[in-house]
Amino acid sequence: MADDALLQRLLAGIARGEPERLAELYDLTSPKLYGLILRIQRDRNLAEDVLQDVYIRVWQAAGSYRSNVGTPLAWLVTIARNRAIDSVRRRSEVQGADPDDGEDWVARLADPHDAAAAFLDRDALLACLGRLEARQRDCVVLAYCKGYSREELARRFDHPVNTIKTWLHRALAALKTCIEAVR
């Protein structure tokens, strides 16, 4: 995967209307984003459509990227995740089994295009998820692996949306701290 400085330069070029920078960005990031989209939008054809939609959005919004808010890849991943979830909601598709069905959902987080596993270190993630309270862990898995909205999580866990937001915020902060310590 390209470094942040290169991705920032490409986004700046896209913001200036340089289509060749978009092509370069696509070549560098599309395998990772496609893998993420495919984990949410399980239909390959629809996932490819979502991927194209992501790059249209990037073309339109590259000027809004701010490096002080996050890395370019995090910005791209957020767009891809949101577009994939929107696609699932529009088509009213079922996202699959519950996290307690025995499925190895952590295995689905591994990026098949990144042999070095630089995007997510599966062992660190497993260890850190194991340290979370069960409800927070399930909430994170459903939100970020299966695409559940906060409202859907609130219904599922029978808690207010604000409680779900708090759980997610605290769980993600704990995961970040833990993963940084493990690495």
Q: Are 182 and 128 in contact (CB under 8 A)?
A: yes
Do 56 and 114 lie in a common domain? Answer: no
Tokens found for residue 127: 């260890």
Tens digits of residue pLDDT in 109-167: 444 444 444 444 566 777 788 888 888 888 888 887 777 888 888 898 898 888 888 88
Average pLDDT, the chain: 80
Give DSSP secondary structure letters for 48-72. HHHHHHHHHHHHHHGGG--TTT--H
Q: Whole-angstrom Cα distance, residue 132 to residue 140?
A: 10
| Of the ranges 42-46, 80-84, 114-118, the best mean pLDDT one | 80-84
With respect to residue 102, please indicate whether it lies within any of the assigned structural domains: no
Q: Which CATH number characterizes residue 87's domain?
A: 1.10.1740.10
Residue type, 73: L
Tokens found for residue 178: 């833990």
DSSP 8-state class, residue 97: -
Do 13 and 79 lie in a common domain? Answer: yes
Do 10 and 36 lie in a common domain? Answer: yes
Residue 43: domain span: 4-91
With respect to residue 100, please indicate whether it lies within any of the assigned structural domains: no
Do 127 and 77 lie in a common domain? Answer: no
Tens digits of residue pLDDT in 45-78: 888 999 999 999 999 999 999 888 889 998 999 9
Total of domains in the chain: 2
Write down which residue in 56, 91, 126 finishes a domain.
91
Q: Whole-angstrom Cα distance, residue 59 to residue 77?
A: 15
Residue 29 pLDDT greater than 80, yes or no:
yes
